[in-house]
Structure 1
Amino acid sequence: MKKHFLAGLALIGAVFSAPASATVSLGDTVTCGGFSFECSTERATVGAGSEFGIDFGRFGTLLLADFTTGLLTISYANNPELPDGAPFGETFALFFSNETNPFTFAELGNVDGVEGLDDSSVSVDGGFVTVNLSNVTFGRDSSLQVKFDRTVTPPPAGAVPEPATWAMMILGFALVGFAMRRRTTATVQPLLA
């Protein structure tokens, strides 16, 4: 009975402590699409280098999309037709999905030299990540990152514990209390001669 109880606690702990987000790994198959943009290919395998070139047909490749573990980096492709960067109008968006491990979480990461972005520029719906680039300007040597896994950036020191941590602590205290109570309630039988 005790083994079953401990196994149950371990299972509950694993469920509560498992990350709720999906990440990107080498070998995953990812897709690319866009509104007012065209991707160099519809799907690619995550590996070394950029998976997608992105343009809107007039100036050639303007952006590069590079997936690495837990991150997507979208960078300006240093197009000679637009040496100062690339401004986009009101209706530009990119859509990505991971066919191997569907996205459940994404947020804006580091932004360098890109104007017009905020946290609402990145969203997840039905496994698809949308990066809204409407009214965004990419300067020379600019890039933005999209994080797919909450564990990419460690939490700040002194952060409030997550609910899973609280649940594990409470279950641990309950288990210790249960074990102590069983020990104190044991009866002593005197030996009769």
Structure 2
Amino acid sequence: MKMKHIKLFAVVMLSGLILAGCKKKNNEEENEEELITTVKLTLTPVGGGSALVYSWKDVDGVGGNAPVIQAVTLAPSKVYNCSVQFLNESVTPAEDITTEVVTEGVDHQVYYAVSGGAALTINGLNTDGNGLPLGTTSSFTTAAASTGSLKITLKHKPGVKAANDAVTKGETDVEVDFPVTIQ
């Protein structure tokens, strides 16, 4: 009799472990991160002029060929309306991840960090449904001729996004560096 209870207990425990393992796997599949191979900046001069488009591309992913990066060149003492686009160009047709970022804006934020002496200020970030920064659109203001870099980071912050969050909060979906020249 006692052996029968032990076997029954073992079968119940094993079944529970199998079900728990399957359930976790299904949750992981639902929350699968999107592949972002391309970050595209479109900068349109305020007051007129042609839009300038720059991209960072790593179509073969981490560990393959080095990314192809277009250096951003802007005129001094100008204001540009900026939009950033996130794409998966490893598939045909390319998938525009930006749509999902905007739709799920309360769980995402784009950060911009200027360094190395570039005379560039970024403000006017668009906001999500809760009035918090989203950053898929913004305003770039240049000053004097200079050089430096612009780091763009897309963070995924489900349930933890708050006002004045540091770039370290949440999971990084993509982080890229563009060389910047103002001339």
Q: State the TM-score, normalized to the length of structure 2.
A: 0.40
Q: State the TM-score, normalized to the length of structure 1.
A: 0.39
Structure with more strand by fraction: 2
Greater C-alpha radius of gyration: 1
